[in-house]
């Protein structure tokens, strides 16, 4: 594959008549298949038998317990959910233990097959396993018990949004950071393209800072809490008349023209809200909320849009027709107004917002990706894959998807800013969860005090504006760097 490959590329196609591209393999010959090696790579008979011996009773118990659980749910009525039946030897097995043992069995099964698997793939498999286990445990406790969400050792209570957030960050690392760091040459090429656009580079740095400060800050900095006496403190280096603020004034007071002025202090660099919450802390916590909403909802919607768009384009015909008609129907109800109605009837929450925008906001992206995939479908590599007997899933995953990834990224950059603004807007009008420290909520807190305390609304708003602006700049530059149709145009 090394020197020979290079020569093959260098010689004109007409020269090597005995080594045409169709016969495959490096150097024009097929690779020898070592069937013995492949046989040896599979799990041994004995290990498999032991695994089956353990799994079978587990499955029987699991089915029995879940049936009893469902029955108790059905008959229990208002009794606050069902109860888990005890088993003969082990007694009552809690939901977490069930999921944990399932995970152990699954890992054992995969461990039995020492196939060639890279370290990254193993890590990813481990992570998804743990994630799935955690999510199922949370779901089980929430469905079966009214006492609240499951508490985990070390982590404590993990909310549904946190689970999704964890997955989103992991996906970003797995499919963004890891490929770029392992494939330096491509990474350098993208960087050279991207670097031309100074605004985008500055924006990207800003976004990384917001992302990191948001994630770390939300865990390190305590949540802002109302503090009596510290209401409406001005930001550092600004002073306002004392009657505007609460009774305390950590920055000290001074007299000017007959009125007592309260000076801002570095204890509250961005001042405090009308309820005495520190604006800086609120801004830091708001960073994570904005990132969460924008990235999680976009990840969900892109996953669906890609699956739908590629399936429709690959199969065509009736599949295409049905999927795209569904997209039409879904798009008749604008997501913003749909969420408005849902928030009214069910009560708004961050989770609902993410889910609604994730599961109902993918129509435009699906159309975009389908349009691109329709062109790629006719390419020779698609035909080659099909005629080599590859399954539709394999062909879509390994040939169609990588070739439309530009469209996927374009769709992402279009959807993130819209969702972030939507979340802030719903928090502003008070239709989102009021306990979440969103920028929109702080802006609405300060709306009544525009005349006296301008900083409450303007500072979080400035961060919101800059974040959205930065996403737009980065998105524009990414489109230029990745999209061959626009490549080189803007230089």
- Binding residues vs other proteins (CB under 8 A): 328-329, 332-334, 336-338, 340-342, 344-346, 364, 417-418, 421, 424-425, 428-431, 440, 443, 447, 450-451, 454, 457-458, 461, 464-465, 468-469, 472-473, 476
Residue nearer to other proteins on the CB measure, 111 or 347 = 347
Task: Give me the least distance between CB of 134 and other proteins, in Å please.
Answer: 30
Residue nearer to other proteins on the CB measure, 234 or 417 = 417
Task: Give me the least distance between CB of 334 and other proteins, in Å please.
Answer: 4
Degrees (nearest 5) of the Cα angle 89, 95, 96? 100
Task: Give me the least distance between CB of 479 and other proteins, in Å please.
Answer: 11
Residue nearer to other proteins on the CB measure, 128 or 364 = 364
Separation of alpha carbons 489 and 473, rounded Å: 16
Task: Give me the least distance between CB of 206 and other proteins, in Å please.
Answer: 13
Residue nearer to other proteins on the CB measure, 326 or 351 = 326
Residue nearer to other proteins on the CB measure, 165 or 473 = 473
Cβ-based neighbour number of residue 135 at 10 Å = 17
Residue nearer to other proteins on the CB measure, 137 or 350 = 350
Task: Give me the least distance between CB of 56 and other proteins, in Å please.
Answer: 44
Residue nearer to other proteins on the CB measure, 103 or 374 = 374
Helix (H, G, I), strand (E, B) or coil at 130: helix
Cβ-based neighbour number of residue 316 at 10 Å = 12
The answer for residues whose C-beta is within 8 angstroms of residue 308's C-beta and 6 or more apart is 323, 327, 362, 366, 370
Separation of alpha carbons 350 and 297, rounded Å: 11
Q: Of 416, 415, 380, 418, which Cα lies nearest the Cα of 399?
A: 380
Task: Give me the least distance between CB of 421 and other proteins, in Å please.
Answer: 5
Task: Give me the least distance between CB of 122 and other proteins, in Å please.
Answer: 41
From residue 169, alpha-carbon distances to 175, 209, 213, 337, 349 in Å are 10, 15, 14, 29, 21
Phi, then psi, of 255 in degrees rounded to 5: -100, 140
Cβ-based neighbour number of residue 211 at 10 Å = 18
Residue nearer to other proteins on the CB measure, 175 or 333 = 333
Q: Of 335, 301, 337, 298, which Cα lies nearest the Cα of 416?
A: 298
Q: Can you name the residues that pair with 263 across neighbouring β-strands? A: 239
Separation of alpha carbons 391 and 61, rounded Å: 36
From residue 179, alpha-carbon distances to 123, 171, 172, 403 in Å are 14, 12, 10, 16
3-state helix, strand, coil split of the chain in percent (to 5) is 70, 5, 30
Residue nearer to other proteins on the CB measure, 53 or 346 = 346
Token code pair at residue 382: 């698609």
Task: Give me the least distance between CB of 450 and other proteins, in Å please.
Answer: 5
Task: Give me the least distance between CB of 336 and other proteins, in Å please.
Answer: 4
């Amino acid at each position: 594959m090394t020197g020979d490959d290079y020569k093959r590329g260098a010689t004109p196609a007409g020269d090597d008549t005995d080594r045409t591209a169709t016969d495959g393999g490096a150097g024009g010959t097929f690779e020898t298949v070592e069937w013995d090696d492949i046989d040896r790579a599979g799990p041994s008979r004995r290990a498999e038998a032991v695994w089956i011996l353990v799994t079978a009773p587990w499955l029987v118990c699991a089915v029995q317990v879940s049936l009893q659980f469902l029955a108790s749910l059905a008959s229990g009525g208002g009794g606050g959910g069902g109860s888990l039946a005890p088993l003969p030897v082990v007694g009552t097995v809690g939901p977490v233990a069930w999921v944990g043992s399932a995970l152990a069995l699954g890992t054992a099964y995969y461990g039995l097959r020492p196939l060639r698997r890279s370290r990254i793939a193993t890590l990813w498999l481990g992570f998804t396993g743990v994630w799935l286990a955690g999510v199922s445990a949370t779901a089980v406790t929430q469905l079966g018990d009214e006492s609240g969400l499951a508490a985990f050792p070390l982590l404590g209570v993990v909310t549904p949004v946190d689970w999704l957030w964890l997955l989103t960050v992991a996906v970003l690392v797995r499919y963004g950071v890891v490929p770029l760091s392992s494939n330096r040459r491509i990474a350098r090429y993208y960087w050279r393209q991207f670097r031309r656009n100074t605004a985008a580079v500055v924006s990207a740095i800003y976004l990384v800072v917001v992302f990191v400060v948001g994630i770390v800050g939300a865990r390190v900095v305590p949540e802002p809490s109302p503090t009596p006496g510290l209401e409406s403190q001005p930001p550092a280096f600004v002073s306002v008349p004392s009657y505007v603020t609460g009774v305390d004034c950590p920055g000290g007071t001074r007299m000017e023209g007959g009125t007592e002025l309260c000076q801002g202090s570095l204890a509250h660099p961005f001042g405090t809200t009308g309820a005495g919450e520190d604006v800086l802390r609120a801004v830091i916590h708001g960073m994570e909320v904005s990132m969460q909403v924008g990235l999680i909802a976009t990840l969900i919607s892109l996953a669906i849009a890609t699956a739908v768009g590629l399936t429709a384009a690959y199969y065509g015909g009736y599949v295409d027709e049905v999927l795209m008609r569904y997209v039409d129907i879904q798009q008749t109800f604008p997501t913003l107004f749909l969420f408005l109605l849902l928030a009214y009837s069910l009560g708004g929450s961050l989770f609902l917002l993410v889910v609604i925008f994730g599961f109902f906001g993918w129509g435009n992206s699906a159309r975009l990706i389908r349009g691109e995939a329709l062109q790629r479908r006719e390419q020779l590599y698609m035909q080659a894959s099909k005629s080599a007997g590859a399954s539709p899933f394999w062909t879509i995953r390994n040939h169609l998807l990588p070739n439309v990834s530009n469209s996927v990224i374009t769709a992402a950059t279009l959807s993130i800013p819209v969702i972030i603004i939507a979340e802030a807007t719903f928090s502003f009008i008070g239709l989102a969860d009021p306990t979440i420290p969103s920028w929109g909520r702080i802006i609405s807190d300060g709306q009544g005090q525009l005349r006296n305390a301008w900083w409450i609304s303007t500072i979080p708003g400035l961060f919101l504006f800059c974040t959205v602006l930065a996403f737009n700049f980065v998105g524009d530059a990414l489109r230029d760097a990745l999209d061959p149709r626009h490549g080189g145009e803007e230089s």
